[in-house]
């Protein structure tokens, strides 16, 4: 018997138990084991019904995603697995706990009955991997719950609870938590007592028409742009409605096959694993202690400090919020309250929850009140002298062993740490604005930051629902450092006379929801020029009162609905600055040239981050760009995308642009090496 399979017989019921940690993914070995279990029990005359269950934390969480990189899928494939369950001569009861996802959920649908504990969840998340449920899910689910609800579930990729699943007929019974095996046995015995009917989802008629799918498609319309899977999913569900079951299955298989080899899916699978890698730091093993973070101090109640505070409140961690002046403190607290009240007004929180969260804040006017916190995060002005002053004082206020963190986005963390007596307790926690929304947390490791501190904050990121990416000390760390090129080049092209709309459009076509010029207006030009010296284009905009979307005008004009329009005044400011800076005019650049100027330096800078050890791995850079700057997921992030172009083509592109556009395009040593050796960034 295989290592992952255990079979036993209890009364007249045969149990198949699969144990393949961590999530019982349906690898070739697991598929083989399930089929073998079914064969064993079908051959045993003492067995009248079969229960299929999993050991460990969950029922099958889907196909083994790593196997999709090695096509074709090995035998026995998913068709063979589903057929073995569905055509079993004895009824098969899927007994579900944890998360029955993707192929795991589809296997449950191919069984004759399904029971689950209340905490179980069911979902088809394949859309997030750029594929579709390719093991009969698009054909069986519509037969069980109706075509439109099935499409909704498959397009959203969101799991549903056991209660919801029972209500919609996805499962036959919810059983007592912790008693899954006994309850499934009893269920199976009842099935036998009632005549052992083999209920096959394939035999049911689909409720609903192709027209019923329209509202679901409309609801998910934004998902279709750039992603290939949603369109294929619709076609597969349509096939369930219009074709007999077997033909529908064949159509599903065909569509699944197309997606599996698509670049979009390869990119999304890369991102799936990349996001699970970031918290792993090579020199920090499980032996490094994680310090408890029971209470946090945040210095600065502005937009950033307030947003940071909210993360901890939502995780149930009390925050002492420090401001220097009562008025600023009141304003900060009021903004947090307003945010929560807005959420409550939308019905996503109760008034009582708002009060509970607000009750976790202790507003104070002095840093002296931070003596008892486990972690302080400073979120004040980006000014090294102010930050050094604060850290110097914290040293004397906080207890020994409290972590001192700076939210600096550009400054030298080592210089800040040097203002303290214990630089090993200092770390960078760089949140992205709005800090309560954006999922990225860059953890900046200073030259002396201790391993305990890194281990603790990497773990803490998960507690506050952020994905941590570790960065070394440099100007801008990872996300800001690489993306700065996009900002610089977009302005440079504006000065060369390239129409603003065109610059934005090229990036929209690439997949960004917002083009770089619109993004500058959204961030605020006054924020962006902070610290800049001499006359700058954005400085001229700010001087003219055009600070961006918040003032109704920046590079574009904005109406009350934030719809943008071209502005004569903005055009004049750009032309004046171009004349002042002697920028040669070249307004007719091709889309391809614009794309290369905006994105090649980003990949090149990512390569420099790798070379310098600022980023641990290329996939971390991808995660930082995707989660910090909404880089389109279906491209896999800048480094994965760089690999799809190839280092050689990238090098040629950079070399062609460098003579005219300067140092931003000077190829990094790593790009040169990979171009010469034929290697990939994402192997680093």
Question: Would you tell me which residues interact with ligand CAA (CB under 6 A)?
Answer: 22-23, 25, 61-66, 78, 99, 101-103, 106, 125-126, 129, 131, 133-135, 137, 273, 276
Q: Which of 36, 86, 106, 252 is catalytic?
A: 106
Query: Would you say 128 and 220 are in contact if contact means Cβ atoms under 8 Å apart?
Result: no
How many C-alpha atoms does 293 have within 13 Å on its Cβ side? 29
Instruction: Give yes or no: 126 in active site.
Output: yes
Rank residues 136 and 642 by Cβ distance to ligand CAA and give the closer one.
Answer: 136
Which of these, 371, 609, 570, 385, lies nearest to 481 by C-alpha position? 609
Nearest-approach distance from CB 355 to ligand CAA, in angstroms: 31
Among 342, 376, 334, which residue's Cα sits nearest to residue 358?
A: 334
Given the complex with ligand CAA, which of 271 and 486 has the nearer CB atom?
Answer: 271
Of the listed 86, 126, 323, 442, which one is catalytic?
126
3-state helix, strand, coil in the chain (%, to 5): 55, 10, 35
Which residue number, 125 or 230, has a Cβ lying nearer to ligand CAA? 125
Contact predicate 52/37, CB 8 Å: yes
Nearer to ligand CAA, 101 or 184 (CB): 101
Say what angle helices 618-629 and 479-495 make with each other, to 10 degrees.
60
Q: Which of 586, 672, 582, 599 is nearest to 639 (CA)?
A: 599
Q: Which is nearer to ligand CAA, 467 or 518 (CB)?
A: 467
Other C-beta atoms closer than 10 Å to the C-beta of 54 total 27
Beta carbon of residue 636, minimum distance to ligand CAA (angstroms, whole number): 16
Contact 111, 131 (CB under 8 A): no
Task: Tell the smallest beta-carbon distance from residue 106 to ligand CAA (Å).
Answer: 6
**Secondary structure (3-state) at 208:** coil
Asked if 474 and 481 count as a contact pair (C-beta separation under 8 A), the reply is: yes
Min. distance of Cβ 511 from ligand CAA in angstroms? 22
What gap in Å lies between CA 506 and CA 197, rounded to an integer? 59
Nearer to ligand CAA, 104 or 306 (CB): 104
Q: Which residue's CB is nearer to ligand CAA, number 273 or number 580?
A: 273
Q: Which helix (H) or strand (E) holds 33?
A: helix 28-43
CA 684/CA 678 separation, integer angstroms: 13
The residue among 101 and 170 lying less far from ligand CAA, judged by its C-beta, is 101
If you count them, how many residues does the chain have? 684
Nearest distance from residue 199's CB to ligand CAA, in Å? 22
- Chain center to CA of 465: 11
CB distance 344 to 354 below 8 Å: yes
CB of 418 to ligand CAA, least distance (A): 36
DSSP string, 258-281: HHHTSHHHHHHHHHHHHHHHTT--
CB of 66 to ligand CAA, least distance (A): 5
The C-alpha atoms of residue 109 and residue 94 are separated, in whole angstroms, by 9
Q: How far is the CB of 223 from ligand CAA (least distance, A)?
A: 16
**540: part of which helix (H) or strand (E)?**
helix 537-543
**Count of CA atoms in the C-beta half-sphere (13 A) of 515:** 22
The distance of closest approach from Cβ of residue 243 to ligand CAA in the complex, given in angstroms and rounded to an integer, is 19
Q: How does DSSP classify residue 68? A: G
Tell the smallest beta-carbon distance from residue 275 to ligand CAA (Å).
8
| Cα torsion angle, 235, 241, 243, 246, sign | positive
Question: 407 - beta bridge partners?
Answer: none
Would you say 133 or 332 has its CB closer to ligand CAA?
Answer: 133
106 is catalytic: yes
252-289 b/e (C-beta count within 10 Å ≥ 16 → b):
bbebbeebbebebbbbbbbbbebbeebbebeeeeeebe
Comparison of 126 and 172: residue with beta carbon closer to ligand CAA: 126
Q: Are 266 and 429 in contact (CB under 8 A)?
A: no
- Under 8 Å between Cβ of 330 and 362: no
CA–chain centroid gap for 387, Å, is: 31
Would you please indicate which residues are annotated as catalytic (active-site) residues?
106, 126
């Amino acid at each position: 018997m295989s290592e992952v399979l255990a079979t036993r017989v209890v009364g007249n019921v045969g149990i198949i138990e699969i144990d393949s940690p961590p999530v019982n993914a349906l690898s070739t070995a697991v598929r083989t084991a399930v089929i073998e279990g079914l064969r064993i029990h079908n051959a045993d005359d003492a067995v009248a019904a079969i229960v299929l269950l999993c050991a460990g934390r969950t029922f099958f969480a889907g196909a083994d995603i790593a196997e999709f990189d090695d096509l074709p899928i090995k035998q026995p494939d998913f068709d063979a697995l589903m057929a073995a369950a569905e055509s079993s001569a004895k009824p098969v009861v899927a007994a579900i706990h944890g998360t029955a996802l993707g192929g795991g959920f589809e296997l449950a649908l191919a069984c004759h009955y399904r029971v689950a504990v209340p905490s179980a969840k069911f979902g088809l998340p394949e859309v997030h991997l750029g594929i579709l449920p390719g093991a009969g899910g698009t054909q069986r689910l519509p037969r069980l719950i109706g075509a439109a609800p099935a499409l909704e579930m498959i397009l959203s990729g969101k799991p549903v609870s056991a209660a919801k699943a029972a209500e919609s007929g996805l499962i036959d019974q919810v059983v007592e938590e912790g008693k899954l095996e006994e309850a499934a046995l009893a269920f199976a015995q009842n099935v036998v007592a009632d005549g052992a009917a083999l209920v096959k989802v394939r035999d049911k008629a689909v409720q609903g028409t192709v027209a019923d799918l329209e509202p679901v498609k409309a609801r998910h319309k934004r998902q279709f742009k750039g992603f290939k899977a949603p369109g294929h999913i619709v076609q597969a569900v349509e096939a369930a409605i219009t074709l007999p079951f077997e033909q529908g299955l064949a159509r599903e298989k065909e569509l699944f096959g197309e997606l599996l080899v698509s670049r979009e899916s390869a990119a999304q699978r890369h991102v799936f694993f990349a996001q699970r890698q970031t918290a792993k730091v090579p020199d920090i093993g499980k032996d490094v202690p994680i310090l408890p973070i029971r209470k946090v101090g945040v210095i600065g109640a502005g937009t950033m400090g307030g947003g940071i505070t909210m993360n901890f409140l939502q995780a149930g961690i009390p925050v002492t919020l420090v401001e220097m002046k009562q008025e600023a403190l009141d304003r900060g607290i009021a903004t947090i309250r307003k945010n929560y009240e807005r959420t409550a007004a939308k019905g996503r929180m109760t008034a009582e929850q708002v009060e509970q969260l607000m009750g976790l804040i202790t507003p104070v006017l002095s840093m002296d009140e931070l003596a008892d916190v486990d972690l302080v995060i400073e979120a004040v002005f980006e000014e090294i002298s102010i930050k050094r002053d604060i850290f110097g004082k914290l040293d004397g206020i906080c207890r020994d062993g409290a972590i001192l963190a700076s939210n600096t986005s550009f400054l030298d963390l080592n210089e800040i740490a040097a203002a303290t007596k214990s630089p090993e307790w200092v770390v960078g926690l760089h949140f992205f604005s709005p800090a309560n929304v954006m999922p990225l947390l860059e953890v900046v490791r200073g030259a002396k930051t201790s391993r305990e501190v890194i281990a603790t904050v990497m773990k803490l990121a998960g507690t506050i629902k952020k994905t941590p990416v570790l960065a070394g000390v440099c100007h801008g760390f990872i996300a800001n450092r690489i993306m700065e090129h996009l900002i610089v080049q977009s302005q440079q092209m504006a000065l060369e006379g390239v129409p603003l709309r065109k610059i934005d459009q090229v990036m929209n076509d690439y997949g960004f929801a917002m083009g770089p010029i619109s993004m500058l207006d959204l961030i605020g030009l006054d924020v962006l020029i902070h610290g800049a010296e001499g006359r700058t284009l954005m400085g001229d905009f700010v001087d003219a009162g055009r600070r961006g979307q918040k003032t109704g005008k920046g590079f574009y004009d904005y109406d009350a609905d934030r719809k943008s329009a071209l502005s004569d005044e903005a055009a004049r400011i750009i032309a004046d600055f171009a004349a002042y800076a002697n920028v040669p005019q070249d307004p007719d650049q091709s889309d391809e040239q614009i794309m290369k100027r905006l994105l090649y330096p980003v990949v090149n800078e990512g390569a420099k981050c790798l070379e310098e050890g600022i980023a641990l791995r290329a996939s971390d850079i991808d995660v930082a760009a995707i989660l910090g700057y909404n880089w389109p997921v279906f491209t896999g992030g800048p480094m994965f995308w760089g690999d799809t172009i190839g280092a050689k083509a990238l090098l040629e592109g950079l070399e062609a642009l460098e003579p005219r556009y300067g140092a931003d395009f000077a190829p990094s040593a790593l790009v040169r090496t990979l171009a010469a050796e034929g290697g990939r960034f994402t192997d680093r």
